[in-house]
Chain A
């Protein structure tokens, strides 16, 4: 039985990681073909760092992901607070459902409706260069919000109400009680919401496709449009680099986390 379960885990990891491994290996392939591995070379990496268009779209992607996830996290956290404090069960349920719609909606519906909205607004304000970073940011914040709510809400639910009441009894203003008592408790939820939003925004293609302008191209759009002909091999190099960077970040976060928790547990003793 143990053997079987190991096989199963092995298979799962194989399916998850072999594609990424292939990508990394072939990013070092000299010939620029998936047919054969002709020699080890850094030429695609060199080409990548000379490819201004690719680098600027990567830059755009990062700017957009950071700003949209931060804004969505701030709005979403206060939204979750408001939702948590709502008294009527029915209103709460209704609001909860409504905020989940952007997440359940197929991306293409969100994308098209966003585009139509922006086209209409652009026509009203008679602006020519309306589409761009702004429209992308609004769209990304919109679809990030439910994810933040989803990860922060459970934290509020698990919160002991009497803690905040005790703080207020001891002379805290409600705002101070929130920042001193409640906020530290929900921080893990906020961080996971932030990370979720960041990754969602980084790899979104469909919605961005509709609300983008040539002034502000993100990386997924750039790569997708290459499929008209053969995708450049420097994209393999870029993807390999992204995988490595994410791996390093994860390792650091986990390492730091484990050190932190060890310290904490020592303190408690």
Chain B
């Protein structure tokens, strides 16, 4: 008996060790980092997926170039930990949960506005970012990040790349006479060949621009009007899509889609029948900008990183890699870059930069109840059944199935007992 207790105790001990093991590892990994920071500092960069030149196919590896440049300049070893996100909202979720801390993040305009409002960003010290003068003046004192301290620059953000939404169409399928306006996306001649954004803000945007409404409107009726327009469009759509758009447009299974100008060039490389225009009613202009979260532990290195990305070599490499438009003067004047754009498409440079005649506006951060409203309207558009009723129906069906199963099992048990 005594022996049995002894082995039982050893068993419990072994099990306990296994349970505690992960937390021990956790502690160890934490220690390792603290010790290592004396030599190599890790800089955490959080950017959009596929949004920085990474050294593939002979282009510049921008992060490695920074590490080298920083070591040569300051004699301090820095390791860039580069990770990516797929939407502004997932970036927001990560930053606001406080589970991780980043040193440089690259959100879009309306998300920067929200992050500033919630006090999640640290103001930039432009003494450490001298290359800020490379950024064109029209990108300074932006609506999403106004220049409150009067130094002539955005307080919290440095523009990285920007772009505009336009309409991509296949010249073999679409008549040239029909282009020029958002009307093309509502044109019934092309029923079944039109793709719409599967993302509420951009989809509502297309309808709002078409109707001449404000995309940041406070008036619920405006949003309802846009919803009606989208509902009218639904029957002639092929579908609501996001990245499937690449394949659908490249292989010609769809003929018309609204998307971002930079991505159009990527599609054009695989299908030279594709053309692109900015609708005359106006369109969305968005800016992705580099910011430093308040939780950053290496703010000065982060500022050096931003400064480095504004210099000629990495800025040109990033613009060439992503095909997105650069707000950086040295990129626009770079001979190699102009030539590169010309090789992709004759008028690629003009398409991206000669856009003064295009009317643009930006999305602004909307209040919580407006976001709720848009979500509700979006659900209404996508489901056609009013949401609350749909949920009750589904719950009812599930409860019904469970009840039927339970009754069946009970009957079976009873029968067996009788047998």
Stretch at the interface among B93-101, B110-118, B370-378: B93-101
Given the known interface contacts A53-B54, A228-B50, A228-B84, the answer about A33 and B250 at a Cβ–Cβ threshold of 8 Å is yes
* Residue contact B266 to A230, C-beta cutoff 8 Å: yes
Which of B14-22, B70-78, B398-406 contacts the other chain? Answer: B14-22
Q: What distance in Å separates the Cβ of A200 from its nearest Cβ neighbour in chain B?
A: 17
**Is A34 touching B250 in the complex (CB atoms < 8 A)?**
yes
Indicate whether A224 reaches chain B with its CB closer than 8 angstroms.
Answer: yes
Assembled-state Cα–Cα distance A210/B97 (Å): 10
* Whole-angstrom CA separation of A71 from B299 in the bound complex: 39
B18 contact set on A, CB distance < 8 A? 71, 74-75
- A121-166 residues with Cβ-Cβ distance < 8 A to B are 122, 127-135, 137-138, 141
Interface residues in B24-51 by Cβ distance below 8 A to A read 25-27, 29-30, 33-34, 42, 44, 46, 48-51
Enumerate chain B residues within 8 angstroms of A53, measured Cβ to Cβ.
54, 82
List residues 79-102 of chain B with CB under 8 A from any CB of chain A.
Answer: 81-87, 90, 97-102
A127 to B21, CA, bound (A): 18
Say whether A175 faces chain B, with CB atoms less than 8 Å apart. yes
A35 within 8 A of B: yes
Residues of A within 8 A of B392 (CB): none
Determine if B246 is an interface residue (Cβ-Cβ < 8 Å). yes
Least CB separation from B88: chain A residue: A228
Residues of B within 8 A of A227 (CB): 49, 86, 242-243
B181 to chain A, nearest CB (A): 27
Contacts of A33 in B (CB 8 A): 247, 250-251, 270-271
Q: Does B23 contact A (CB under 8 A)?
A: yes
Chain B residues within 8 Å of A229, by CB: 48-51, 243, 263, 322
Do A133 and B7 touch (CB < 8 A)? no
Interface pair A35/B270, CB less than 8 Å apart: yes
Inter-chain CA distance A158–B80, complex, in Å, is 54
A229 CA / B262 CA spacing, docked (Å): 10
Q: Are B29 and A133 in contact (CB under 8 A)?
A: yes
Q: Are B270 and A31 in contact (CB under 8 A)?
A: yes
Q: Which residues of A contact B322 (CB under 8 A)?
A: 229
The chain A residue with its CB closest to the CB of B45 is A214
Residues of A within 8 A of B19 (CB): 75
Residues of B within 8 A of A118 (CB): 99
Whether the Cβ atoms of A225 and B51 lie closer than 8 Å is no
CB pair A217 B83 closer than 8 Å: yes
What chain B residues lie within 8 Å of A127 (beta carbons)?
30
Give the residues in chain A near B98, CB-CB below 8 Å.
119
Docked complex Cα distance between A53 and B81 (Å):
10
| Residue among B22, B57, B247 facing the most chain A CB atoms (10 A cut-off) | B22
Chain A min CB distance to B69 (Å): 19
Most chain B CB atoms below 10 A, which of A33, A74, A133, A229 = A229
A97 is an interface residue with CB less than 8 A from chain B: no
- The chain B residue with its CB closest to the CB of A135 is B26
- Least distance between B56 CB and chain A CB atoms (Å): 5
Task: Determine whether A239 belongs to the interface, using a CB cutoff of 8 Å to chain B.
Answer: no
CB of A98, distance to nearest CB on chain B (Å) = 16
The chain A residue sitting closest to B7, CB to CB, is A175
Most chain A beta carbons < 10 A, residue from B27, B49, B246, B266: B49
Does A173 lie within 8 Å of B84, measured CB to CB? no
Which of A50, A174, A213, A222 is B99 in contact with, Cβ under 8 Å?
A: A213
Picked from B15, B25, B48, B87, the residue with its CB within 8 Å of the CB of A75 is B15
Residue of A nearest to B21 (CB): A71
CB of B257, distance to nearest CB on chain A (Å): 14
Chain B residues closer than 8 Å to A210, beta-carbon distance: 99
Taken together as a complex, chains A and B put the C-alpha atoms of A225 and B90 apart, in Å, by: 10
Cross-chain contact B25 with A133 (CB below 8 angstroms): yes
A175 CB contact (under 8 Å) in B11, B21, B22, B33: B11
8 Å CB contact of B101 from A128, A174, A217: A128
The reply to whether A119 and B99 contact each other, CB–CB distance below 8 Å, is yes
B: residues with CB less than 8 A from A are 3-4, 7, 11, 15, 18-19, 21-23, 25-27, 29-30, 33-34, 42, 44, 46, 48-51, 54-57, 81-87, 90, 97-102, 242-243, 246-247, 250-252, 263, 266, 270-271, 297, 322
What are the 4 tightest A-B residue pairs by CB atom distance, in nearest-first order? A134-B26, A35-B251, A225-B84, A35-B250
Apart from A35-B247, A134-B25, A174-B4: 20 A-B pairs, beta carbons within 8 A:
A34-B250, A35-B271, A47-B57, A50-B55, A51-B54, A71-B18, A119-B99, A129-B30, A130-B30, A134-B22, A135-B26, A137-B22, A174-B7, A214-B44, A214-B100, A214-B102, A215-B42, A228-B51, A228-B85, A229-B243
What residues make up the interface of A, taking CB atoms closer than 8 Å to B?
31-36, 47, 50-51, 53, 71, 74-75, 78, 115, 118-119, 122, 127-135, 137-138, 141, 173-175, 209-211, 213-215, 217, 222, 224-232, 234
